[in-house]
Chain A
């Protein structure tokens, strides 16, 4: 089975993706992660204004069969969360890199990106 791994993003070994546009990082979980979890039924996200630290837990995603912690790929301040996931958590399964995004973060330090995996490196990990 081959999973989508968009080139224009970076990844964590724990299967979160991050896409940065003008200093704002959009974060979600990968196609591989949603497939492993199965039907996502609940996503717990931080509040706007919360401070995140790279590598720390920022929330939880639950499928029918498993619970999984979410880890932040970057440090910064949460500026938005995907409210649609409250009522339609299945968006994480249907469109993990699009409508299933989880939060936006105002990034403190872009040099942290050096710690993240490229698309190629992440692909190597899951294949």
Chain B
């Protein structure tokens, strides 16, 4: 199948970006240098093209009920213009996807917009339709992924950078609050969300206006490479690596995102998650820092000090901020306390590592 292309694929290519396949999309991985781009976001501001993220619109009288029953968080807590992070789980309580869902303003054509991960949009669209039909709910569901471009402007200087280009002031938006605002004449959905650990905004604009909105910003373009190092430093999950529904199913408690699960709401997977919470988990998601020299990577074995395999590295990198090799993975809870010494098999060599609490950057939220 040909790769899906973000609207500015050719522009990024002309700018000198290198590309990678991600979730079926041909996305810029690096514009200048992952380190430089990473540093821009930690120190000032950078802009990411994240148009590979899905957009699903849900509307109609039963839209709220449908959203509530298909996500783990409590949708009824949202006022128009609010958003929340939630998991989408199966009957066993295993994470199929993580998402940010927005409750749109009351005068909007749709009631909710949610953002599945790259390549999951069709699956989520089908899932929403299937359950709507099964539960006989009155809701319209539209896969709008190819209608919108999405950008993330992130970093300590991001609020000013975004506020400067929007006609309306957005600087007073709280975290997870969103509104429509005009950028260079283009109506954009502007949300104070992001996945880097920094302050910042995500902007969703019509696909056809992608260039106009991108050009309104004068800041470091960043690729998926730095997005990955930034989110790893925060211990944030990456779909397909830190949860992989097919190959390594995990529930939100194992994945340390139990805060997104509201057991007093009804949703697919609730009963299984109630049991999981009562029984506790056997394995849990941890961060670790390599003490020996080397770089941990996705798929490497984690062992105990007796060389018995106890888990797998789900994400790993050399942290550009700390200049230390860091990683994430699932291991039995008895090894999960910060300070516990484990080992990581780096290309056949056993390297000493130590469990560390996440985020690795302690001063971030």
Contacts and interface: CB of A to CB of B under 8 A. Distances in A.
Interface stretch (A25-33, A37-45, A104-112): A37-45
Interface residues of B, number: 18
Interface in B289-334: 293-295, 297, 317-318, 320, 325
Contact of B295 (A1, A41, A86, A93): A41
A39 B317 CA distance: 12
B49 to A, nearest CB: 17
B293 to A, nearest CB: 7
A86 to B, nearest CB: 8
A78 to B, nearest CB: 18
B35 A62 contact: no
A42 B293 contact: yes
Nearest to A63: B34
Contacts of A44: 293-294
Contacts of B347: 60, 67
Contact of A64 (B16, B225, B294): B225
Contact of A65 (B30, B293, B325): B30
Given A60-B347, A64-B229, A38 B33 contact: yes
A55 to B, nearest CB: 19
Contact of B29 (A42, A65, A67): A65
Interface residues on A, range: 10 to 19
A86 B292 CA distance: 12
A88 to B, nearest CB: 11
A64 B318 contact: yes
Interface string A64-101: 11010000000000000000001000000100000000
B317 A64 contact: yes
A108 B294 CA distance: 31
Most buried by A among B29, B317, B318: B318
Contacts of B297: 67
Contacts of B225: 38, 64-65
Nearest to A86: B293
Nearest to B297: A67
Nearest to B30: A38
Given A64-B34, A65-B30, A65-B34, A42 B320 contact: no
Interface string B268-308: 00000000000000000000000001110100000000000
A68 to B, nearest CB: 11
A42 B34 contact: no
Contact of A38 (B16, B34, B293, B295): B34
Contacts of A38: 18, 30, 33-34, 225
A3 to B, nearest CB: 14
A39 B29 contact: no
A65 B18 CA distance: 12
Contacts of A60: 347
A41 B318 CA distance: 7
Contacts of B18: 38
Given A42-B293, A42-B294, A42-B295, A64 B35 contact: yes
Contact of B33 (A39, A42, A86): A39
A38 B295 CA distance: 15
Most buried by B among A38, A64, A65, A93: A64
Interface of A: 1, 38-39, 41-42, 44, 60, 62, 64-65, 67, 86, 93
Given A38-B225, A86-B293, A93-B33, 7 more contacts: A39-B33, A41-B295, A42-B294, A44-B293, A64-B35, A64-B317, A67-B347
Instruction: Give me the 5 closest cross-chain CB pairs, A-B, nearest first.
Output: A41-B318, A39-B35, A64-B34, A62-B295, A39-B34
22 contacts: A38-B33, A38-B34, A38-B225, A39-B33, A39-B34, A39-B320, A41-B318, A42-B293, A42-B318, A44-B293, A60-B347, A62-B295, A64-B34, A64-B35, A64-B317, A64-B318, A65-B30, A65-B34, A67-B297, A67-B347, A86-B293, A93-B33
